[in-house]
Amino acid sequence: MKILKIQTLRGPNYWSIRRQKLVVMRLDLEELADKPSDVIPNFYQGLIAVLPSLVEHQCSPGCRGGFLMRVQEGTMMGHIIEHVALELQDLAGMPVGFGRTRETSTPGTYQVVIEYFNEAAGRYAARAAVRLCQSIVETGSYPPEELAQDLKDLQELWAEASLGPSTEALVKEADRRGVPWVALSARSMIQFGNGVYQRRMQATQSDRTSILGIELACDKEGTKTILREAGIPVPRGTLIHYLDDLKTAIDDVGGFPIVIKPLDGNHGRGITIDINSWELAEEAYDAASGASKSRSVIVERYYQGRDHRVLVVNDKVVAVAERVPAHVVGDGHTSIAELIEQTNRDPRRGEGHDNVLTKIEMDRTSWQLLERHGYTLETVLPAGTVCYLRATANLSTGGIAVDRTDDIHPENIWLAQRVAKVIGLDIAGIDIVTPDISQPLRDVGGVIVEVNAAPGFRMHLSPSQGIPRNVAEPVLDMLFPSGTPSRIPIIAITGTNGKTTTSRLIAHIFKQTKRVVGYTTTDGIYINDFLVEKGDNTGPQSAQVILNDPTVEVAVLESARGGILRSGLAFESCDVGVVLNVSADHLGLGDIETLDDMARLKSVVAETVLPNGYAVLNADDPLVAAMANRVHGQVTYFAMEPENELIRLHTQRGGLAAIYENGYLSILKGDWTLRIEQAVNVPLTLGGRAPFMIANALAASLAAFAQGVRIEDIRAALTTFEPSVGQTPGRMNLFDLGGYHALIDYAHNPASYAALGSFVRNWPGERIGVVGGPGDRRDEDFVTLGQLTAQIFDRVIVKEDDDTRGRPRGDAARFINLGIQQIGIVGRCETILDETTAIQTALNTATPGSLVVILPETVSRAIALIEQRQPQSPSTLAA
Ligand code: ATP
Ligand code: ATP
Ligand code: MG
Ligand code: MG
C-alpha cells in the first residue's frame, strides 16, 4: 500500500457539513487492490487480536460487531484502515466516529476519510492505521509495543496542541452558543466572534482587561495600599529591600508569626508563611528576595485561616473555591513517602497546569514542614493525621480545591465585587484568608491577601470536591452581552463561472450602505477599495484574513472549488450562500469526476446557510436549483425568464426571487414586483447585451436584498459598477481602439465561452478571437472549446498559456484546432502559440468595425498591450 496524499479539512466540506475536522487520505492499495479481507490469510484473526475493541464498531450492519462481520465476509483494505484509524484515536482518549471510504476513478486507489479530534493526531492515526494493517497482512500481527508507542505518540500530539483548561472551557462555551472562535498565531490569543464584533482573550485575560488594573494587581504592595485606603481588610505589612531592615519590619507588623514573600511573585514561589523564629525569617528573606525581580520583599503579619479564591467576572462573584495545600493523610501503616506516591498516582494529577490537579513534589517548604513536626519521609503517620507538604495552597504546587460558592457570606460577595472594581479588573481572582468564608471578614478577622489578574479557572471548573462551576459562561456573557452580535454577515459565492464578478458587485452594493466590506476574489483580498493582498484568494486562509479583521462589517467571500476541496470552508455557516451555476470545468481534478460530484461540492456553500439566512440559487440551472432540498435556511431563486416555472411556484408561495423582465432587473417578493433598474442602465450588462452578466447582477441584487439592503442602494450600485479594468479586470473589459474594439475576458471553460458567445455573436462587425485555455483541463474540454470558438468567431488565432501546466507545448492548441475543424470555420484560423505575438497580430490585422476578443492567460499583460494603443475612455458602445 502507498499513501499518495493526506489532506486536512477544517470546515464544512464535500464529505460532510457538520463533521468539519476530517483527514482525507488518498491511498493506493497496490498489491491489495484485488484482495478483500476474506482472502488475506489470517487477517481477521490478526486484526481482532491487535484491536479487540473494534467489536464496538457497528458499520453498515448497524449492530455491535457489525464492522468485524464485514471484515470476515470480505471488505477492502481502505475501509478497514478507516475503522482502524478511528479506533486508534478512540483508544488514545480522543473520541471520533465519522468515516467514509470510496474508490476513486483510478482502480485500486481509494479516498479514506476519517474524523479527527486533534489535527496532528488525526494525520498520525491515518498513517499508523496503514502501518498496522500492512503489518497484519504481512506477518499476521502488529507488535504490542508498537501499538503502545502509537497511542503514546497520539496522546503527546494531542497534549502539545491542547489549549489549557481555562481556554478550553471558554472555547467549549463559545461552541455551545454558536460563537465562532479561532486560535490566533501569536501569544496564545483566541479570537471569539469575527470582523468588527470580535473579542480576544489570552487565557483569562480579556482584550478589555485594563492594563492599569493588571499592573496594580501584580504590585502586591500597591494593591494593599489602595485596598487599605478603601477600608478593605488587608494584612498589615511593610516592604523592605535589605536584610538589615528585616528586624524593624517584623516589629512593625507586631512580631511573629509572620509571612515573607516577594513583591512580584506568583504561584506561591518564594513565599514562606507562619514564620515563628528569626532563623526561619532570615532564610525566608533570602528565598523571597531571590524570587523577586526587583529584590523587593514583603513582610506581613500571618493570619490564621483557610485559603479561598473568589472569582469575580464582570463585577459579579461567579465562583468561590477553598484551596487546601498539598497534604497527605496517615493511615497508621504507610510512610509519608509512600502516601505521596499514592496521591500522585491519581490520574487527575499531571505536571504543571496540564491536568485537573498537579502532582505533589517535595521542595524547601516541604522539608521545613516535616522538620517542624519532627517527621521524615519514612515516618508512618497515625490514622487520620494530616501532614501538610506545602504552606500555600496553589493548585500548581499540588493543592486541592473545594467548591464554596454556595457558602460565601453576602457581605463578602459585596466586598469581593468591590475589590475587583477598586483594582480595575474585569476578571479578578481574589485571595482571601479567613477562618470562615460564611462569616463577614470583619467579624472573624479575615483579610484579602492578594488580587490576581488572569486567574486560572481550573479550580472552579473541576474542584476536587463540590460542584463544578461553568465560569466560562459569565465570561462569554461579558464578551457578548445578550442581544449583541458576535459575527458579521457572511455572503459566500460559488459556481463555475461569474464568482469574481458577482462577488465584486455584491461588495460594491454593500459599500453603498456605508459599511466596511471585506471581500476575497481570484484577484485578491480587499477591504473597501483597498487591496490587502494580490493573487488568487478564494481559499479558506484568505477568507480568514477578512473574518479576523477587526474593521470589517460585512464579509463577501468568493468560495472556489479548490479551497473547499483542499481544506473545507473557513466559516461554519453563512448568512447568504450564492450558487451561480454548475458546468463542466475542473472535472477530473481532486477526484471530482462528474458534474454531479461538482454540484455536490458547490452545494456545500448553500448547505452552510444559517436557518434564518438565504440560499441564492439559479433557477435556470437544474443542478443548482436542486440544491434547494439540502438547504436548511430559506431559499431564493434568480432566473432570466419571468415565466420560469420554479420562480412562479416559489413566489406564489410568498417566496423571494429576482428575474429579468421587460428589460428590467427586478425583485419578486411574493406577488409584488420591485424593479431595480433597466439593464441598459447597468454597465456591467454591456447595454443589456451580455445575458450572463444580467444573471450575475440578479444574483448579486438578490443576495443584498435578502440581507436587507434597500432597492435604492442596489440601484445606485448597479448603475455605477463598470466592467472596467479598474473594477473587474479581465471580466468583459471592452476597449474602444478607434475604428475597432477589443474585449478582454477570462472565459476559460465551455460554459463561459458559450456565455461570451451570446454577447459576441451580436457584434455587427468582424469577430476575431484570440483563444486558448489552461493546460490542466482534459483533452475533450479543449475540443469543446474549439467547437464553441468556431460558432462564435469569423476569424481565430489559437494560442497557448506560457505555463502549459504539464502539457507538451502545442498539445492544447492541437485539440482546440480539432474542435474548430469539426464545426468548420468561416474565414481564417491560424495558430500562434506565444500569447503576446498572437494578441499583437490580432490587433494589427483588425478590420474597421471589428471586435477582437482576447482570452488571455495573464490579464494584466493583455491589458498592458491594449493600453499601449491608447484606447479611448470611456469605452462607449455603439448603440
Ligand atoms: P498566587 O498568585 O498563585 O495566588 P502568590 O505567589 O501570588 O500566589 P499570594 O497569593 O500572595 O502569593 O500568597 C499565596 C498564599 O499564601 C495565599 O493564598 C495564602 O494562602 C498564603 N498567604 C499569603 N499571605 C498571607 C498572610 N499574610 N497570612 C496568611 N496566609 C498568607
Ligand atoms: P474563476 O474560476 O477563474 O475564479 P469566476 O467564477 O470567478 O472564475 P469571473 O472571473 O467572474 O468568474 O468570470 C470569468 C468569466 O466567466 C467571465 O469573464 C465570463 O466570460 C464568464 N462568466 C461570467 N459570469 C458568467 C455566468 N454567469 N455564466 C457563464 N459565464 C460567465
Ligand atoms: Mg495568590
Ligand atoms: Mg474568480
What pLDDT shows up at residue 877? 57
Residue 556, C-alpha cell as written in the block: 463577501
262 CB near ligand 1 (under 6 Å) = no
Residue 718, C-alpha cell as written in the block: 448597479
Q: Are residues 559 and 543 in contact, defined by beta-carbon separation less than 8 angstroms?
A: yes
Give the three-class secondary structure for 710: coil
What pLDDT shows up at residue 184? 93
- Scanning the structure block, which residue is given the C-alpha cell 496521591? 343
Sheet holding 258-262, edge to edge: 237-240, 297-301, 258-262, 272-275
Any idea which ligand is nearest the CA of 291?
Answer: 1
Mean pLDDT of 465-475: 96
Residue 510, C-alpha cell as written in the block: 454593500
Strand bridging mode 400-403 / 297-301: unpaired
pLDDT tens readout for residues 35-48: 999 999 999 999 99
pLDDT over 70 (residue 18): yes
- Between the CA of 590 and the centroid of ligand 2 the distance, in Å, is 21
Give the Cα separation of 454 and 873 in Å (integer): 61
Residue 798, C-alpha cell as written in the block: 489559437
Task: Among 216, 218, 271, 388, say which to mutate for ligand 1: greatest number of ligand atoms within 8 Å of CB.
Answer: 271
| Assigned architecture for domain 236-301 | 2-Layer Sandwich (3.30)
Number of H helices, E strands in the chain: 29, 38
Q: What percent of the chain has pLDDT over 90?
A: 76
- Cβ-based burial of 672 (10 A; exposed 0-12, middle 13-18, buried ≥19): exposed
pLDDT over 80 (residue 352): no
265 CB near ligand 1 (under 6 Å) = yes
Q: Are residues 116 and 89 in contact, defined by beta-carbon separation less than 8 angstroms?
A: yes
pLDDT tens readout for residues 751-806: 888 889 989 988 889 999 999 888 888 898 899 889 989 999 999 999 998 888 88
Average pLDDT, the chain: 92
The angle subtended at Cα 716 by Cα 713 and Cα 720, nearest 5°, is: 140
Q: How far apart are the first and last CA of the chain?
A: 65
449 CB near ligand 1 (under 6 Å) = yes
Q: Could you list the beta-strand ranges (E) of 567-669.
A: 574-579, 609-618, 634-639, 656-661, 664-669
* Confidence at 355, pLDDT banded by 50, 70, 90: confident
Give the three-class secondary structure for 609: strand
Strand bridging mode 517-520 / 554-558: parallel
Q: What is the sign, positive or negative, of the torsion defined by CA atoms of 428, 432, 438, 442? A: negative
**Other C-beta atoms lying within 10 Å of the C-beta of residue 422:** 18
Q: What is the largest CA-CA distance in the chain?
A: 110
393 CB near ligand 1 (under 6 Å) = yes
Give the Cα separation of 172 and 476 in Å (integer): 11
Q: Which CATH number applies to 490-719?
A: 3.40.1190.10
Residue 533, C-alpha cell as written in the block: 493582498
Beta-carbon contacts of residue 663 (< 8 Å; ≥ 6 apart): 678, 679, 680, 688
- Between the CA of 755 and the centroid of ligand 2 the distance, in Å, is 9
Any idea which ligand is nearest the CA of 266?
Answer: 1
Q: How far is CA 23 from CA 82, 105, 112, in A?
A: 10, 20, 8
Domain limits, the chain: 2-161, 165-210, 236-301, 490-719, 733-868
Give the three-class secondary structure for 557: strand
Mean pLDDT of 465-479: 97
452 CB near ligand 1 (under 6 Å) = yes
Residue whose CA is at the smallest distance from ligand 2 atom 20:
747
Strand bridging mode 733-736 / 672-678: unpaired
* Confidence at 354, pLDDT banded by 50, 70, 90: low
Least confident of 67-76, 589-598, 631-640: 589-598
Task: Among 308, 392, 444, say which to mutate for ligand 1: greatest number of ligand atoms within 8 Å of CB.
Answer: 392
What pLDDT shows up at residue 778? 86
pLDDT over 90 (residue 723): no
- Between the CA of 828 and the centroid of ligand 4 the distance, in Å, is 32
392 CB near ligand 1 (under 6 Å) = yes
What pLDDT shows up at residue 875? 56
* Confidence at 728, pLDDT banded by 50, 70, 90: confident
- Between the CA of 450 and the centroid of ligand 3 the distance, in Å, is 5
* Confidence at 459, pLDDT banded by 50, 70, 90: very high
Residue 610, C-alpha cell as written in the block: 444559517
850 CB near ligand 1 (under 6 Å) = no
User: Which pTM does this prediction carry?
Assistant: 0.87
Q: How far is CA 125 from CA 68, 80, 411, in A?
A: 20, 13, 54
- Between the CA of 752 and the centroid of ligand 2 the distance, in Å, is 6
Nearest-atom index, ligand 2, CA of 561 = 2
Alpha helices in 614-773 (DSSP H): 622-625, 645-652, 691-706, 711-720, 750-760
Nearest CA to 312 among 464, 444, 432, 480? 432
Mean pLDDT of 300-325: 95
pLDDT over 70 (residue 878): no
Bond preceding residue 848 cis, omega within 30 of 0: no
Residue 740, C-alpha cell as written in the block: 475597432
The angle subtended at Cα 226 by Cα 221 and Cα 229, nearest 5°, is: 120
* The CATH number of domain 733-868, selected from 3.90.190.20, 3.40.50.620, 2.60.120.10, 3.30.70.1400: 3.90.190.20
Give the three-class secondary structure for 624: helix
Bond preceding residue 257 cis, omega within 30 of 0: yes
Strand bridging mode 664-669 / 447-453: unpaired
pLDDT over 80 (residue 29): yes
Q: How far is CA 187 from CA 183, 200, 202, 422, in A?
A: 10, 11, 8, 28
- Between the CA of 558 and the centroid of ligand 4 the distance, in Å, is 7
Q: Are residues 772 and 812 in contact, defined by beta-carbon separation less than 8 angstroms?
A: yes
Task: Among 493, 494, 496, 497, say which to mutate for ligand 2: greatest number of ligand atoms within 8 Å of CB.
Answer: 497
Mean pLDDT of 76-89: 97
Q: Which residues surround ligand 4, an ion (CB under 5 A)?
A: 499-500, 522
Q: How far is CA 553 from CA 180, 298, 507, 510, in A?
A: 15, 50, 11, 10
Q: How far is CA 333 from CA 337, 367, 381, in A?
A: 12, 21, 7
pLDDT over 60 (residue 227): yes
Give the Cα separation of 395 and 407 in Å (integer): 21
Describe the crossing of helices 119-139 and 77-91 by its angle, rounded to 10 degrees. Answer: 120
Residue whose CA is at the smallest distance from ligand 1 atom 24:
449
Task: Among 508, 685, 743, 746, say which to mutate for ligand 2: greatest number of ligand atoms within 8 Å of CB.
Answer: 746
- Scanning the structure block, which residue is given the C-alpha cell 485561616? 305
Sheet holding 2-9, edge to edge: 2-9, 22-28, 109-115, 99-103
253 CB near ligand 1 (under 6 Å) = no
Give the three-class secondary structure for 750: helix
Nearest-atom index, ligand 2, CA of 695 = 27
* Amino acid identity, position 874: P
pLDDT tens readout for residues 272-308: 888 999 999 999 999 999 998 889 999 999 999 999 9
* Ligand 2 pocket, residues with Cβ under 6 angstroms: 497-501, 522, 560, 580-581, 692, 695-696, 731-732, 745-747, 751-752, 755-756
* Confidence at 842, pLDDT banded by 50, 70, 90: very high
Residue whose CA is at the smallest distance from ligand 1 atom 26:
302
Task: Among 274, 300, 423, 433, say which to mutate for ligand 1: greatest number of ligand atoms within 8 Å of CB.
Answer: 433
Nearest CA to 791 among 766, 824, 818, 764? 824
Residue 135, C-alpha cell as written in the block: 503489518
Residue whose CA is at the smallest distance from ligand 2 atom 9:
498
pLDDT over 80 (residue 265): no
Nearest-atom index, ligand 1, CA of 396 = 3
Any idea which ligand is nearest the CA of 324?
Answer: 1
What pLDDT shows up at residue 536? 79
**Other C-beta atoms lying within 10 Å of the C-beta of residue 305:** 18
Give the Cα separation of 446 and 429 in Å (integer): 16
pLDDT over 50 (residue 879): no
pLDDT over 70 (residue 498): yes
- Between the CA of 357 and the centroid of ligand 3 the distance, in Å, is 17
Give the Cα separation of 113 and 575 in Å (integer): 28
- Between the CA of 542 and the centroid of ligand 2 the distance, in Å, is 20
Give the Cα separation of 365 and 378 in Å (integer): 17
- Cβ-based burial of 439 (10 A; exposed 0-12, middle 13-18, buried ≥19): middle
3-state secondary structure 451-482: EEECCCCHHHHCCCECCCCCCHHHHHHHHCCC
Bridge partners for 317 per DSSP: 312
- Scanning the structure block, which residue is given the C-alpha cell 462587425? 765
The complex scores an ipTM of 0.88
Bridge partners for 798 per DSSP: 771, 831
Mean pLDDT of 419-423: 98
Rg, C-alpha atoms of the chain: 35
- Scanning the structure block, which residue is given the C-alpha cell 505518540? 153
- Between the CA of 872 and the centroid of ligand 4 the distance, in Å, is 27
Residue whose CA is at the smallest distance from ligand 1 atom 7:
266
Residue whose CA is at the smallest distance from ligand 2 atom 4:
522
Give the Cα separation of 536 and 563 in Å (integer): 11
Any idea which ligand is nearest the CA of 501?
Answer: 2
273 CB near ligand 1 (under 6 Å) = yes
Give the Cα separation of 354 and 159 in Å (integer): 8
